[in-house]
Amino acid sequence: MKSALLFALVAVLTSEAAKLPSTIKLCRKKDPNMNECLRASIKNAIREMKSGLPEIQLIPVDPLFMTKVTIQDGAGRPVNINLELNNVKNSGFSESDIEAARIDFDKHIIEADVFLKFSKLEADYVMNGKFLVLPIKGNGKCIMEFSDSTNLVLNENWKQFWAELKPSFEETYAEAFLQLSKTVFGKVAENDIFLD
């Protein structure tokens, strides 16, 4: 299932001397089209980071491994679910499309609208909750695939189910991107990312 994500990356500025690979496209701070340059640069960087960047000790982002993801959502609503995912393997980040990006140099904040074309999540799960009037409880291995072909066979109730859980998934992915950005900005000086 396609999902648009909005995430804010807080830059952790550093004076370390690590350099980004020359394949990463950089932007100039005074570029009159900074937001468009930033959008293209982030899109390029995500693809370049697929296998990781040893130069700055950045782990691969596709697949992205997370130890634990907890989703608690829907209290008092038609969908109420507590879902804990462990040993999470998430594929598809490197194919993300960056629809827009914005930067505030004074506050050291980057925002980007990320559109996941495809996402596949594999994990061990424990789930407890309800969907409409039906109780939901279980545990074991799970594989979740979100894509156009899935959308073609989903019914109206699934759309309601996804609408309830979407904010929690977006928050989880945003946190993953935030941690990746902290790694980059923690190793590479701002002036080596945004040129004067």
Question: Rounded to two decimals, what is the model's pTM?
Answer: 0.70
Q: What is the pLDDT of residue 59?
A: 82
Q: What is the pLDDT of residue 16?
A: 53
Domain boundaries, position 23: 3-195
Q: Report the alpha-carbon distance of residue 32 to residue 22 in Å, rounded.
A: 23
Q: What is the pLDDT of residue 164?
A: 64
| Structure token digits, residue 110 | 């980057």
- Residues of the chain predicted below pLDDT 50: 1-15, 149-151, 153-154
Q: Report the alpha-carbon distance of residue 178 to residue 99 in Å, rounded.
A: 18
Residues 38-88: pLDDT tens digits? 999 989 988 888 888 888 888 888 888 888 887 776 556 666 778 888 999
- Give the chain's length: 196
**For residue 171, what is the enclosing H or E element?**
helix 156-187
CATH code for position 173: 3.15.10.30
Q: What is the pLDDT of residue 196?
A: 80
Q: Report the alpha-carbon distance of residue 175 to residue 181 in Å, rounded.
A: 10
Query: Are 110 and 100 a contacting pair, CB within 8 Å?
Result: no
In the chain, the number of structural domains is: 1
Residues 6+ apart with CB under 8 A from 193: 20, 26, 184, 185
What DSSP character marks residue 77? Answer: S
